[in-house]
Structure 1
Amino acid sequence: MPEQELTDKVVASFDTAKDERFRELMQALVRHAHAFVRETGLTDEEWGAAIEFLTAAGHITTDTRQEFVLLSDVLGISMLTVAVNEPGLGESTQSTVLGPFFVQDSPRIELGGDIAGGATGEPSWVTGRVTDTHGNPVAGARVEVWEADDDGMYDVQYDDGALAGRAHLFTDGEGGCRFWGLTPTPYPIPDDGPVGRLLHHAGRSPMRAPHLHFKVTAPGFRPLVTHIFVAGDPWLDSDSVFGVKESLIRPFDRHRAGTPTPDGRPLEGPWTSTTFDIVLGKE
């Protein structure tokens, strides 16, 4: 059967799908996948290696490690999906990738509380406001925050089951948000599996630019998933998941040991502070 005839036949096999969006996606997938095979002259051995790669990604995936999310991230598909769905949001804060380490039902803290929960690292005071695109405060917005410790590990990567370096809180009547976190540090994405081997063969680094994750939700507004990144960090231009956006880079001001903290918290060592105002777009 000629190549194009085969492609047309497979595409047509989805004509009977009742769900229109499913039919659209599957037919486009077939057309693009067949075009990839023709363009590259893909061999049986290469396709077999790809199947083995995907099988290995499935085997290493657990409830706390999603290798397919890592694959999507390092191929830039996660960020492209964000970009395709983000146009037209005006002055709202830009989105970036969710990443593989978000956890539902994180501990709640009060405003000014500490998300560390035992995670190690340099304390960082984070403040900001959540507003709409007209500058009106969004009171009661749920703000989820999570980050790696100073060893570059998220809580779910440890075996003790403890939640640390993550929490959620709610904005006050003026949209205010404030909490203690950890000064973000660079770290490698998990690279001991098939995605790590892919990066190694490509000569690419697994390092992520230091960041703090946010997920912000409020009734009547589009959910926001974003990061803030540390200004001046050398990994900003080579983030392994392409997640850095200029508007999300923030200075983390350094304070020497003994410098009074905004809330009077006693600290023996140095600490940092930053401000991140979040603008939500209407649904």
Structure 2
Amino acid sequence: MSDEQQEREAQLVERVVASFDGTPDPRLKELMRALTRHLHAFVREVRLTEAEWQQAIAFLTATGHITDDRRQEFILLSDVFGASMQTVTVNNEAYANATEATVFGPFFVEDSPAIPLGGDIAGGAPGEPCWVEGTVTDTEGRPVPDARIEVWEADDEGLYDVQYPDGRVAARGHLFSDAEGRYRFWAIAPTPYPIPHDGPVGRLLAATGRSPLRASHLHFMVEATGLRTLVTHIFVRGDEVLAHDSVFGVRDSLVKDFTPQSPETPTPDGRDLAGRPWTRVHFDIVLAPDRP
């Protein structure tokens, strides 16, 4: 490439960056200038062709078209590039022994059903019963009473309730820790499942030889006054997908023992499972202090 060509390209970058100089909001100005520099650096590094640029625009257009109030393809796109996980990492700095955060995912829904301690979030979703219990404490080891614990997961078919067309509400709910910070509930044992791959993100994964599978997991969001809200999962030890989770969400500290129980094993709350096997897991949650 000639010096003249390099200079022409560099001048264009600076003109575009300078166009944001009058942005009143300092943070927005910083973001737009940095984004411009990185975007132009990518175009120049790979020598992007006009046909490739048109393909990229078509891809983003298709991503927008398939997105609606029940499916968020842009979150999936962010997830498979690791951008969601990197944002989580940047915004949840390690603090003492606080539980690590991971990706939010595209399937959280507001206004989940409230369940009592020891209740069942399954709501008829297919899957093996799983007893989940633990404590919520702060980093000083003090119990956190009345922490709101939101939980959601895919069913045994690999689908979340919002992926069904019938409006069902299943495999999600919320409860509150007791006076000693303890919690307990029934869920279903997590199994691996593919992220939705019938759209643009799925085609991208197929074209790059990547699997759409997510490692088996159960979502948590935990909120308590004066403490940092935690968004995390727990994963199943021994799951073969742990090493290549499609959204890079696995952290070693979040891999837990989901211990199989025979049908003859008494359940912790005396529930009659009609001769079915079940699973149990213990997950102690530690919340970091909130910070401005």
TM class by shorter chain equals over 0.9
Cα offset, 1:270, TM superposition = 0.2
Contact 2:136 2:286 in 1 (8 A): yes
Alignment-derived partner of residue 78 in structure 1: 84
Q: Hey, what's the Cα distance between the residues in 2 that align with 1:88 and 1:280?
A: 11
Q: Match for residue 24 of structure 1?
A: 30
1:100-119 Cα deviation digits (max 9, x unpaired): 00001100000000000111
Equivalent residue, structure 2, for 1:173: 179
SS at 2:107 equivalent:
coil
- State the 1:41 CA deviation: 0.1
Match of 1:141 among 141, 147, 158: 147
Aligned match of 1:209 = 215
Q: Secondary structure at the match of 2:211?
A: coil
Q: Which runs of 5+ in 2 are unaligned?
A: 1-6
CA distance in 1, matches of 2:94, 2:205: 34
Q: Are 2:238 and 1:232 equivalent residues in the alignment? A: yes
Q: Structure 1 stretches (4+) deviating beyond 2 angstroms?
A: none
What is the root-mean-square deviation of aligned Cα atoms in Å? 0.7
Give the alignment partner of residue 71 of structure 2, picking from 65, 70, 77.
Answer: 65
> What is the one-letter code of the residue matched to 1:278?
I
Alignment partner of 1:200 is 2:186: no
| Whole-angstrom distance in 2 between the partners of 1:87 and 1:97 | 14
The answer to whether the Cα contact below 8 Å between 2:130 and 2:189 also exists between their aligned partners in 1 is: yes
Question: For the residues of structure 2 that align with 1:85 and 1:166, how far apart are their CA atoms?
Answer: 26
Instruction: Choose the corresponding residue for 1:279, options 281, 286, 290.
Output: 286
SS at match of 2:33: helix
Aligned to 1:118: 124
Structure 1 Cα separation of the partners of residues 267 and 97 of structure 2: 32
Q: Map 1:38-57; keep pairs closer than 5 Å.
A: 38-57=44-63
Look up the equivalent residue of 1:252 and give its one-letter code: F
SS of corresponding position for 1:25:
helix
What SS class does the counterpart of residue 178 from structure 2 fall into?
Answer: coil
**How far, CA to CA, are the matches of 1:249 and 1:44 in structure 2?**
45
Matching residue within 29, 33, 42 for 1:36: 42
Q: CA deviation at 1:187?
A: 0.3
Match of 1:189 in 2: 195
Q: Which residue, out of 241, 257, 276, partners 2:263?
A: 257
> Offset of 1:258 from its aligned partner?
2.3
Please give the alpha-carbon distance, in whole angstroms, between the structure 2 residues aligned to 1:224 and 1:75: 22
Distance in 2 (alpha carbons) for counterparts of 1:99 and 1:204: 18
**TM-score, normalised relative to structure 1:** 0.99
TM-score of the aligned structures, taking structure 2 as reference length: 0.96
Counterpart CA distance in 1 for 2:26 and 2:190 is 44
Aligned to 2:134: 128
Q: In structure 2, how many angstroms separate the alpha carbons of the residues matched to 1:234 and 1:184?
A: 13
Residues 118 and 185 of structure 2 are in contact (CA less than 8 Å); yes or no, is this contact kept in structure 1? yes
Specify the SS of the correspondent of 1:111.
Answer: coil
Q: Distance in 1 between matches of 2:95 and 2:65?
A: 39
Letter in 1 for 2:15: K
State the Cα deviation string for residues 141-162 of structure 1 (Å, max 9, x = none): 0000000000000000001111
Q: CA deviation at 1:88?
A: 3.9
